Amino acid sequence: MFVPVDGGDLAVEVHDGDTAPVLAVHGVSGSRKLWDRVAAHGFTLIAPDLRGRGDSCVLPGATTRQHADDMVRVLDALDLASVTVAGMSMGAYVAVELAVRHPDRVRALVLVDGGLPMPMHAHMTDELVAAVLAPQLAARERTWTVDEYLAVQAAANPLVDPSDPLTREYFAHDLTPDGHLRLSGETLAADTRDVVFGESRWRELTVPTWFVHAEWSIGPDSAPAYTVEQAAEYRAALPVLREPVLINEVDHGGTVMTAAGAAVTAEVLNEALK
């Protein structure tokens, strides 16, 4: 379905399941297909393509605040007063913004490797952000077949199985029929800088919140986005935060893009729905 928002229409996919509705918000360079493995666990899942991505790629503008406003429009369009919200990576920061500004619309939060300040962001500069974004921005300058694009993404995401049909579908969704990347470079850069340099309002959360984090960041044995000790510090500082859940032997993307990670995330989401 398409939901009217400022500047155009936002693409939203609804997975029919046997739970109360869950609004699922993807990460900075992802799309709604990020949540397919979690949806397969039987959830009624509302998964938008955020502006600048996928079927919403032509929508201009981006900040966590703008995305949160878009999520309110999605809930209004579906006549949903209040839902559990899951956010992964940048999507978790959007979920925090939504819950702080519209606590009446959010009954519970599940933050997946994001939403709470990442300690690594304290060391980032504009130059480092530009270097991180360079490969994705360069990918926009050429055309791809699905197989070519999948091979490059599999090399960059060593724990993702390129032979899995859901993996192929996820990356195929990134491309137009003629092989161009459906990702706005301007939106990608603006969102990344907003997350890295912006001020998270996590201390203002008042809704029950769960936090899931990965053992690694990119590939086996890489330093995590959040250590166990850092997660415990957030737990102590935020009364509404439940005991953090560590997913062993997965990296940042693997929290939802691998069978093992999606199973743990689904378990936590089921707990939040209760």
Q: What pLDDT, on a 0 to 100 scale, did the predictor assign at position 212?
A: 98
Q: What are the backbone dihedrals phi and psi of residue 166, each rounded to the nearest 5 degrees, phi first? A: -70, -35
Q: What pLDDT, on a 0 to 100 scale, did the predictor assign at position 37?
A: 97
Measured distance CA(201)–CA(126) in Å, rounded? 22
Q: What single string gives the DSSP state of each residue in 109-158? A: EEEES-SSPPGGGGG--HHHHHHHHHHHHHHTTS---HHHHHHHHHHHST
> Is residue 120 scored above 90 in pLDDT?
no
Pick the CATH number of 2-119+200-273 from 3.30.2230.10, 3.40.50.1820, 3.30.1490.20, 3.90.79.10: 3.40.50.1820
Q: What pLDDT, on a 0 to 100 scale, did the predictor assign at position 207?
A: 98
Tokens linked to 143: 């055309």
Q: What pLDDT, on a 0 to 100 scale, did the predictor assign at position 123?
A: 87
Give the DSSP letter of residue 10: E
Going by C-alpha positions, the residue among 66, 59, 58, 121 that lies closest to residue 89 is 121
Burial class (CB in 10 A: 0-12, 13-18, 19+), 111: buried
Average pLDDT, the chain: 95
Measured distance CA(228)–CA(50) in Å, rounded? 30
Instruction: List pLDDT tens digits, range 154-189.
Output: 888 889 899 999 999 999 999 999 999 999 999 999
Q: What is the mean pLDDT of residues 187-196?
A: 94
Q: What pLDDT, on a 0 to 100 scale, did the predictor assign at position 142?
A: 93
Measured distance CA(203)–CA(182) in Å, rounded? 34
pLDDT band at 267 (very low <50, low <70, confident <90, very high): very high
Q: How many CA atoms lie within 13 A of 96 on its CB side?
A: 29
Tokens linked to 172: 């195929």
Q: What pLDDT, on a 0 to 100 scale, did the predictor assign at position 265?
A: 98
DSSP H or E stretch at residue 12: strand 8-15
The CA-based dihedral angle spanning residues 199, 202, 95, 131, taken in that order and rounded to the nearest 10 degrees: 40
> Is residue 6 scored above 90 in pLDDT?
yes
pLDDT band at 106 (very low <50, low <70, confident <90, very high): very high
> Is residue 62 scored above 90 in pLDDT?
no
Q: What pLDDT, on a 0 to 100 scale, did the predictor assign at position 136?
A: 86
Going by C-alpha positions, the residue among 70, 49, 58, 97 that lies closest to residue 194 is 97
Q: What pLDDT, on a 0 to 100 scale, did the predictor assign at position 194?
A: 95
> Is residue 236 scored above 90 in pLDDT?
yes
Q: What pLDDT, on a 0 to 100 scale, did the predictor assign at position 135?
A: 87
Tokens linked to 50: 């955020």
pLDDT band at 61 (very low <50, low <70, confident <90, very high): confident
Beta strands in 176-252 (DSSP E): 209-214, 245-247
Residue extents of the structural domains in the chain: 2-119+200-273
